[in-house]
Amino acid sequence: MYISMSRLRLPVAQVPELLEAFRNRAGLVDTAAGFVDLEVWHSDRDPGEVIMVSRWRRRDAFTRYMKSDDHKVSHARITPELKAVISLERLDHLHTYDVVAT
Amino acid sequence: MYISMSRLRLPVAQVPELLEAFRNRAGLVDTAAGFVDLEVWHSDRDPGEVIMVSRWRRRDAFTRYMKSDDHKVSHARITPELKAVISLERLDHLHTYDVVAT
């Protein structure tokens, strides 16, 4: 199994809008080959931090989705105003991991 | 749902020993009230980084387990030599999150 973790930082005032966007997401990824699940985590210590974690059967399923039209469509649903206030958190923006134990 | 994420850093040479310790873990946490699941992630970009993610029904289930004898017993199984080479990665050592969307 393969994990992609995107760590996002944004002003606390815009966090509810981002979480609402995730709750109302198009769900296109759900039908992508090799997709397992997606969770969005909100830090309880640092309210401007939101983490998106998606799990995949294998790495190539993830990389294929990232190049897909479905991925472009999903991102296009986020308003430019919201995109403008979201920044990458250090190098943690996009980390990928193998799941080695459960 | 509630997530605890511990980000560990250690010399790459000791990573297999740590992963093996997780694979052979006592499993005491599995019977803790409110425990959902545990995964161990190994970074594919930064081989000295290992992340332990545990999921809980609620925050208080996690905090109760952290104070329990079972938690002490589980940690006591890690050899002092291995403990000595594992360090906290910045403030990410122990972050907790609410799961806000799936």
Give the gyration radius of chain A's Cα atoms: 14
Strand segments (E) across B1-102: 2-9, 35-43, 49-56, 87-88, 95-101
- At A92, is the secondary structure helix, strand, or coil? helix
Q: Is the pLDDT of residue A71 over 70?
A: yes
pLDDT for A102 equals 67
Nearest CA among B33, B3, B17 for reference residue A3: B3
Domain count of the fold of chain A:
1
Q: Could you tell me the CA-to-CA distances from B26 to B22, B23, B61, B77 in Å, in that order?
A: 9, 9, 19, 8
**For position B93, what pLDDT does the model report?**
46
For chain B, list residues whose CB is within 8 angstroms of any CB belonging to chain A: 3, 19, 22-23, 25, 37-46, 50-51, 59, 95-102
Closest chain B C-alpha to A77 CA, distance in angstroms = 17
Q: What pLDDT shows up at residue A79? A: 86
Which of A78-87, B22-31, B77-86, B87-96 has the lowest average pLDDT?
A: B87-96
Which CATH number characterizes residue B26's domain?
3.30.70.100
The pLDDT-based confidence of A91 (bands split at 50, 70, 90) is very low
Is the ipTM higher than 0.85? The answer is no
At residue B91, the pLDDT reads 44
When the pLDDT of each residue in chain B is averaged and rounded to a whole number, the result is 84
DSSP designation for A102 = -
What is the chain A residue with the closest CA to B2?
A: A41
Q: Among B5, B14, B25, which residue's Cα sits nearest to residue A46?
A: B5
Q: Which domain holds residue A13?
A: 2-98
pLDDT for residue A94: 55
pLDDT at position A11 is 92
* Chain A residues touching B38 at Cβ < 8 A: 101-102
pLDDT in tens, A13-30: 999 998 888 888 878 888
The 10s digit of each residue's pLDDT in B34-78 is 999 998 888 888 888 888 888 898 889 998 998 999 888 888 888
Full-model pTM:
0.81
Give mean pLDDT, residues A34-55: 88
Percent of chain A with pLDDT strictly greater than 90: 17
pLDDT at A76 over 70: yes
Question: What average pLDDT does range A45-70 have in this prediction?
Answer: 89
Segment A59-85 mean pLDDT: 87
Label residue A93 by pLDDT band (50, 70, 90): very low
Taking residues A66-87, report their average pLDDT: 85
B chain contacts of residue A41, beta-carbon cutoff 8 Å = 3, 97-100
